[in-house]
Amino acid sequence: MDKDRKMIMFGLLLAAFVSPVFAGEWKASVVKSLDALVSSCVVIPCSFTHPEGNLPTSRLRGIWHISDQRDRCIYHYDDTLVLDNFKGRTKLLGHLGQSNCTLEIIEIKDHDSGPFCFRIELTKTETVAPEKFSFVEECVDLKMLPDPPKPKLTQLKSAVQGLPSVLTCTVPHTCPSRAPKLTWNKGIADGIIEVHREIHAGNWEMQSILTFIPEDKDDHSEVICTSTFNGGRTSSETLKLYVKRTENYSYVIIPTVAAIGTALIFAVFIIFIVKKYKSRIVELQSQEGSMWNRLSRLSRRVRTDDGK
């Protein structure tokens, strides 16, 4: 009995969930909140589903308006209906025919916070007045960033003289259509790879990977990565580079070789001198001896003379 009631309840719940799917509904999916850098741009991801199957772009009309005020449009397929302070600053990047209602806003002003909501109109060819559909309003809140975020600079491992070293510079942004440019200081740019990826809905990351071979002179130098955002704002990050010297014994080997060489030359020279003059020394010694003999003979003679 109880079990039956449960089954019926479950069936009703299931029906409640499933029925909208069967009935077919217009639904939009817009990112709820997004950072936007003042003076730069933002791209708001947006997509929608509808029960009509594939519809040509020509029959679809997209509108973005300020929340709760349908007549205050920040984007409208009819340019003349766009609010003055948004004229020329908004563009539908997505193709409505591909169910894509992605919006780009450029030259962001600090009062562009929204919320902004997407609405679509479907025109039926056989009727003059377009049949208008509105979604349960799907809106985005823009959080204004007065200053650009700083890039993050990292060194994958400590730099060693003469070996390839890798530095990465990463900056978050929300404008993939006009992404920030990353640049490095000084001429160490041997190889740069750029990676641009979406981290999560509407939030992107620009990364620059620098590979270079550090030299002795790079030790204690500063590496600066600068991010230039659309609109001209910049931010940068500095990293002090420490270059480990490779084990190099030349400062020991060269003086040692020089010392040993000098000693050898000196020894050869000494031997040569000794050999050359040995004979003369002997000769001198013998001469000396004869002189000594003569002298002693002389003295003996003198003494004998005295004794006479």
Ligand X SMILES: *[C@@H]1O[C@H](CO)[C@@H](O)[C@H](O)[C@H]1NC(C)=O
**Binding residues for ligand X (CB under 6 A):** 47, 93-94, 100, 102
Residue with smaller CB distance to ligand X, 90 or 165: 90
* Residue 191 DSSP SS3: strand
Largest CA-CA distance found in the chain, in angstroms, rounded: 172
CA distance 153 to 170: 7
Residue with smaller CB distance to ligand X, 47 or 134: 47
Residue with smaller CB distance to ligand X, 100 or 185: 100
Q: Tokens 């806003």, residue? A: 105
CB 145 to ligand X: min, Å: 21
CB 28 to ligand X: min, Å: 12
CB 92 to ligand X: min, Å: 9
Residue with smaller CB distance to ligand X, 75 or 184: 75
CB 75 to ligand X: min, Å: 14
* Nearest residue to 180 (alpha-carbon basis) of 149, 141, 143: 149
Residue with smaller CB distance to ligand X, 45 or 214: 45
Spell out the alpha helix ranges (H) of the chain. 2-23, 250-307
Cα three-residue angle 59-60-65, rounded to 5 degrees: 150
* Residue 192 DSSP SS3: strand
* Nearest residue to 140 (alpha-carbon basis) of 77, 84, 64, 214: 64
CB 196 to ligand X: min, Å: 11
* Nearest residue to 96 (alpha-carbon basis) of 53, 55, 65: 55
